[in-house]
Structure 1
Amino acid sequence: MYQGCEMTAATSTPHGSAVRPSTCRMFETPLIERFSRSHPLLPFVFWLPAIAYLGVRAAQNDIGPLAGLGLVFAGLFVWTFAEYILHRYLFHYVGPRPWQRRVHFILHGVHHDFPQDTDRLVFPLGASIPMGAGFYLLFRALVGPVLVDPVFMGFGLGYLAYDGTHYAVHHWRMTSRWGKWIKRHHMVHHHTGEEARWGVSSPLWDYVFGTMGSPKADKTG
């Protein structure tokens, strides 16, 4: 059962100042609480074999290497759009009713309150598997049973890039030029108060829809 957020006890520095806890308990039931968390490698352990299986099946369908590669890139492109739309309009939707606010907190609000919680930086399988199955069925209805496999391969690889990037920008010290840029891009979303920068693994749709925020955000993010 959902219980709001029971924070762990704050710790103290040697100088006596309190340090904000890095996580919270959302569910009374231990099993549900456990499955609300995920090791960062778990999405890769589950989804990479599934994507590889779809690759084998696509090869057996004799789509052709160039056409297959094009469909993979099409799926990857679709993911970038889905990432933007889901993050902006689903994860950040806070309705007026208490149950809507609870759903928002479970889906994404907890991450903004506790952005360094390493167990909640990637999607738990209990969320990503049903969502992935739903997208697979949608793509199958749109492009048919033969073309769906390479399209979903690209979509799935895009999702893994999202999860991996999200974990990295919150947990790793990024040293490459791209790493530093994409980390700052996401930190602007978290820490400046601007309703901007909804793309996590790619800024593409932020540029398209004009949601990069004000230029000064790069100096304060």
Structure 2
Amino acid sequence: MVAQKFLVDLNKPLVCQVGHLGDAYDEWVHQPIVTKQGPRFFHNGFLEFFTQTPWWVIPTVWVPIASWFIATSVKLGLPSNHAPPLALLGIFVWTLAEYTLHRFLFHVQTKSYWGNTLHYLLHGCHHKHPMDSYRLVFPPVAAAVLALPIWSLVKLVSTPSTAPALFGGILLGYVAYDCTHYYLHHGQPKSDMPRNLKKYHLNHHYRQWNYGFGITSPLWDKVFGTVPPPTSKADAKSR
């Protein structure tokens, strides 16, 4: 007797359901539903509130924090003219972190109940409902959890006076990433560069999700060989 596959009821809160999909989760989550109205995550209204974040919360929260970190380096003895280059280096470091997190964490393949559930909360919901504007950027608490190990690593490889400025730059890079990501989904770019970047990212969502992990830039896709191939080649490879 063949077991019946679990079917997700889109009219009910999703978080408690997706774990039951098992090894069918990966295929399900990469079949996008393109509507601006997002799904309900939880029955509990309090939990539901904290799953929704307007895009403007990101710069409002993190730009002052990033500025404080950079200013802290100067207070600790870093020459003030050294702070901007270190912050720029931090922004560059973020682009690698952005690529690494997106490729290896956000697109980890899972099939267990808790693996599917956690992945859906982390990134799967965005691929399933890519136009949900309130679940496109990271809630500050979730971003802080990811930022803590990065801060620990920066302190490990930097001096006490340079670490805050470098980390402040990483935070600014993150702000640029999340705001750019929102714009690529909801903005209407007029010039070639943002228009091409939007096309590049939407290809990742709607055609070749296992390529094109760079959001603010395709730089690291080029370095690590994950630039989306021509459609015909990608189709042939997937067969």
| TM-score, scaled relative to structure 2 | 0.79
**What residue in structure 2 maps to residue 49 of structure 1?**
64
Query: How do 1:13-92 and structure 2 match up within 5 A?
Result: 22-92=37-107
Residue 118 of structure 1 contacts residue 167 of structure 1 at CA under 8 Å; is this kept in 2? yes
CA distance in 2 between partners of 1:30 and 1:4 (Å): 17
In structure 2, the partner of 1:196 is 211
What is aligned with 1:173? 188
Matched residues in 2 for 1:83 and 1:70: separation?
Answer: 20
Map Cα deviations across residues 12-35 of structure 1 (whole Å, 9 max, x no partner).
xxxxxxx95731111222111111
Choose between structure 1 and 2 for higher RCO, CA contacts under 8 A separated by at least 6 residues.
Answer: 2
Please tell me the residue identity of whatever aligns with 2:89: A
1:137 aligns with 2:161: no
What runs of 5+ residues in structure 1 fail to find an aligned partner? 6-18
Distance 2:163 2:57 in 1: 24
Mean Cα displacement is larger for which, 30-39 or 65-74? 65-74
Q: CA deviation at 1:102?
A: 1.3
Q: Report whether the alignment pairs 1:184 with 2:199.
A: yes
Secondary structure of 1:163's aligned partner: helix
Distance 1:137 1:28, change over 3 A: same
- Relative to its length, the structure with more strand (as a share) is 1
Deviation sequence 1:127-171 (CA, Å, 0-9, x none): 012222332122112213211111011101110111001100111
Cα RMSD (Å) of the superposition? 1.9
Identity value in percent:
33
Per the TM alignment, residue 192 of structure 1 is displaced from its structure 2 partner at its CA by: 1.0
CA distance in 1, matches of 2:179, 2:35: 25
**Counterpart in 1 of 2:131?**
116
Kindly indicate whether residue 16 of structure 2 is the aligned counterpart of residue 3 of structure 1. yes
Instruction: Return 5+ residue gaps in structure 2 as ranges.
Output: 1-12, 19-33, 233-239
Aligned residues: 204
Q: What amino acid maps onto 2:43 in structure 1?
A: E
How far apart are 1:194 and its partner, in Å? Answer: 4.7
Change (3 A) 1:214 1:187: same
